[in-house]
């Protein structure tokens, strides 16, 4: 294992992109309410650097509400084709408006319209409601750029702990944990 967990992650992530049929960047994001009620859902990792792991979302969604009340999260990447998973735990902070806009502007127009059309995590009457909203927005923004909604942005998970898991025969898996130790990382091995 590389002594730097970010380097180790980037190596595995590159291998996942070669072996996973779709969405190697899909990650389970676990959040919790202020009183500890957990919630988990899949999001897409859009940036990774030693400053953290970034995903984007509607800032009025359930996950955003939970992160506002309890700015801690856990991520779980599982790459079945490789027999590997990575768990990451840490504090969460919002990305800058400039970073959110740069990413939003890079998305296909349909994805930008969908961000505007969907009241994420809120009750909608039916699918037609969403499709009608997209159609209205397509007409509104014909020939124009779709602007960044005020209710859309991103979050950065700042790792304090990584766990790299490798599948082995007979369930005798390998588990390597990296925990912050001053400016570096301490690596330990756990029993499966």
**171 belongs to the catalytic site:** yes
Token representation of residue 34: 């202020």
Helix (H) / strand (E) element for 135: namely: helix 127-140
Question: Phi and psi dihedrals of 48, rounded to 5?
Answer: -140, 135
CB atoms within 10 A of CB 157: 25
- Contact status, residue 77 vs residue 14, Cβ threshold 8 Å: no
| Distance, CA of 132 to CA of 62 (rounded, Å) | 24
Phi, psi of 133 (to 5 degrees): -65, -40
Q: What is the pLDDT of residues 90-147, one digit of tens each?
A: 999 999 999 999 999 999 999 999 999 999 889 999 999 999 999 999 999 998 999 9
Contacts of 80 (CB under 8 A, 6+ apart): 20
- Cβ neighbours of 131 (radius 10 Å): 11
The single residue of 87, 127, 168, 171 carrying the catalytic annotation is 171
- Residue 50: predicted pLDDT: 93
3-state secondary structure of 40: strand
Please give the distance of CA 61 from its chain centroid, rounded to a whole number: 14
User: What pLDDT was estimated at residue 21?
Assistant: 82
Per the prediction, the chain carries an average pLDDT of 96
d(CA 85, CA 17): 14
pTM (2 d.p.): 0.93
Return the CATH fold of 5-106+149-190.
Pnp Oxidase; Chain A (2.30.110)
Predicted pLDDT at 133: 96
């Amino acid at each position: 294992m590389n002594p730097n967990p970010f380097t180790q992650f980037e190596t595995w992530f590159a291998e996942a992109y070669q072996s996973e049929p779709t969405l190697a960047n899909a990650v389970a994001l676990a959040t919790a309410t202020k009183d500890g009620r957990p919630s988990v859902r899949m999001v897409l990792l859009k940036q990774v650097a030693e400053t953290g792991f970034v995903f984007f979302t509607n800032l009025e969604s359930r996950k955003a509400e939970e992160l506002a009340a309890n700015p801690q999260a856990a991520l779980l990447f599982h790459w079945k084709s490789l027999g590997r998973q990575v768990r990451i735990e840490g504090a969460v902070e919002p990305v800058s408006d400039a970073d959110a806009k740069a990413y939003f502007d890079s998305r296909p127009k349909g994805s930008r319209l969908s961000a505007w059309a969907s009241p994420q995590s809120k009750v909608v009457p039916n699918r037609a409601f969403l499709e009608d909203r997209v159609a209205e927005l397509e007409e509104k923004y014909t020939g124009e750029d779709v602007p960044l909604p005020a209710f859309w942005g991103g979050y950065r998970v700042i790792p304090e702990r990584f766990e790299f898991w490798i599948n082995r025969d007979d369930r005798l898996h390998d588990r390597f944990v990296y925990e912050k130790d001053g400016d570096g990382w301490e690596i330990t091995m756990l029993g499966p």
